[in-house]
A = this chain, B = another copy of it.
Amino acid sequence: MLSVFYLYLFYMEKIYTIKDIAELAGVSKGTVDRVLHKRGKVSEDALKKVNEILDKIDYQPNLMARSLKKKQIYSICVLIPDSANDPYWQPCIDGINEAKKEFKSFNVKIEIFLFDATNTSSFVETNKNVLDTSPDAVLLVPLFHKEAIEAIEIYNSKGIISSIFNNQLKSSSIRSFVGQDLFQSGRIAARLLDLLIKKGTIAIIHIDEDYENAIHMQEKEKGFRDYFNNLGNTDFEIKTFKVKHPQFKSTLKEFLDENPAIEGLFVTTSKAYQVAKIIAKKPEKKIALIGYDLLENNLEYLNNKTIDFLIHQNPKRQAYLGATNLIEHFIFEKEISSEILLPIDIINTENAKDYFL
């Protein structure tokens, strides 16, 4: 019964055009256009008549017609670390290419610029190259704090929109950040270990890279400790272990030998496989291990159950959303979301392959 009425409304929902408004207001479409775009040269009388109509109806400009007319091509440059040095970044490139493909028939050009993640000057240089193309927006991974801020300030002064993803960075010149809540991410790891083991020592392992991971690791540790602090008195002891790459193997072995009570490990970077390699050789005792990112190496140890869980930072989706946020701003005049926080995916042996979309 009622559905007939709704059906009626459904089909009645008129889509108004500028011409419709002009006729309703008794003016020409030129005048309506001037009102809509506040171009002036409209008498008070005409302005009132048009606004009265606009108040009454819900005018939605036809975006097809608009972007057909506006021949402007928006250009977006994306700066990502070269995946040759670190496979973590490959999904980002895939994500950008997906966005590119999806919007290929629209007036946007997206270009990827790769830089060397181990080399600050490569980052600076690449930003210079990007600037030379004078794009409308830049999406970048701000690996190098100081240099990123500098680059973003320059973009901002030239009216170029900058968005970042993967790494958080505070600056009023940044229009958008896409990433994860790292504090929460640490809490998730803590909750998982809390379920896996009941007592003993847990170590937070920071494997530092050549480039800046400090903020990442600190936030994760804070969240991790926060979880156990809020638990109240438990049978857990939590230690932090920092290590740089070269002497990594021997020092970690030492650390484990010195702390026989260790029952669980939380590796705050994507290098859990390096830890797994070591503890896999100690089959006398199963140590719970949690790490980050679906790298080949990590998956290998996940599948042989040396790693219990991996936390997925979803770099592909981060890059994709960073790009589409900008694209949709340009072609659909959407607001740019200032912060997009992705869900933090928990991965085990069985759902790992699902996340390679």
Residues of A within 8 A of B (CB): 3, 7, 10, 60-65, 67-68, 104-106, 109, 111, 129, 133, 181, 184, 187-188, 190-192, 195-196, 227, 308, 332, 341-351, 354-355, 357
Contacts and interface: CB of A to CB of B under 8 A. Distances in A.
Contacts of A227: 350
Nearest to A73: B15
4 smallest CB-CB distances across A and B, nearest first, come from A343-B354, A346-B346, A188-B350, A64-B68
A349 B344 CA distance: 12
B62 A111 contact: no
Contact of A351 (B106, B332, B343, B355): B343
A351 B357 contact: no
Q: How many copies does the complex hold?
A: 2
Contact of A133 (B7, B196, B341, B355): B7
A105 B61 contact: yes
Contacts of A187: 350
B344 A105 contact: no
Contacts of A344: 350-351, 354
Contacts of A65: 64, 68
B341 A346 contact: no
A103 to B, nearest CB: 10
A342 to B, nearest CB: 8
A346 B343 contact: no
Contact of A196 (B109, B188, B195, B346): B195
B345 A345 contact: yes
A311 to B, nearest CB: 9
Nearest to A3: B129
A3 B227 CA distance: 48
A345 B354 CA distance: 9
